[in-house]
Amino acid sequence: MPNLLKHTLTAITLATLATPALALETAGKVETLDKEPVSARGVLIAGQSADIAAGMTGRLTTAPYKAGQYVERGATIAQFDCDRQDAELKSRRAAHATQSLKYENQAELLAMGAAGELDVSIARSERDQIAAEVSALEIAMKDCTVAAPFPGYVTARHIDAYETAQAGQPLYSLNRAGTTEISVIAPSDWARWVKPGANFTFKVDETGESVAAKVQRLSAVVDPVSQTIEITARLNGKHKGRPGMSGIAMFQGR
């Protein structure tokens, strides 16, 4: 009996000591379950997009690019008929050369005492005024050629060659190449644990590929109706995704 009692007490003691360990193990399992992957829907968006507008009113002579085509930075995407502006610029340049000669002549006469300072000042003022007109025309002539501000893809062409465009009218819509981002709409409580720099995986529905991504920023406001927040991320590495494609963002949990 004493031996039996001894063994019974030992078993009870071991069971009691094991209880905290079991509790910790159970807590660990709960924590692991809490870190299971969670997901939210997202859509690919262009890192930068722009509507390229006309800087002048005039008739287009060329608008060579179509939707879907790739354009290099600085490529001419539209050209205006600027023959009249070019002729006017040449005329004002000639007038500036003539007025410069008049000013130089008045300055020489002043040195010889054959002209007054007022005559020289007027000649210089007229020369400078024409020079300013030449500069204004040269700046306006830059609008005759429309160049792509960055490398990218044409998403829309709003006007064709030989049509007349108005100043400020959109000519093309462009998306910058190589800077595709992801817009993820997630529950607002994700803001507690999703931070800039967090890594996750985005599976694109249309291509079926899973691409690594990194959170760039979180929206500064929460949608009060849906209680969601926008998470903006950038894809890492090469991918076949295009703006407008959607998919699932998989995070590793809280």
What are the extents of the domains in the chain? Answer: 35-75+153-254, 76-147
Check whether 5 has a pLDDT greater than 60: no
pLDDT tens-digit profile of 227-243? 999 999 998 877 888 88
Contact by Cβ (8 Å): 49, 150 = no
210 C-beta neighbours (distance < 10 Å), count? 14
What are phi and psi for residue 252, nearest 5 degrees? -85, 10
Alpha-carbon distance of 202 to 246, in angstroms, equals: 9
- Please report the pLDDT score of residue 35 as a whole number: 64
Supply the DSSP symbol for 82. -
Tens of pLDDT, residue by residue over 17-36, are 333 333 333 333 333 345 67
Q: Give the Cα separation of 217 and 236 in Å (integer).
A: 15
What pTM was estimated for this model as a whole?
0.69
35-75+153-254 CATH, one of 1.20.120.10, 2.40.30.170, 3.30.70.1450, 2.30.40.10: 2.40.30.170
Q: pLDDT by residue (tens digit) across 173-206?
A: 999 987 789 999 999 999 999 999 999 999 999 9
**Which residue, among 155, 161, 172, 166, has the nearest Cα to 242 in the 3D structure?**
155
> Which H helix or E strand runs over 200?
strand 199-204
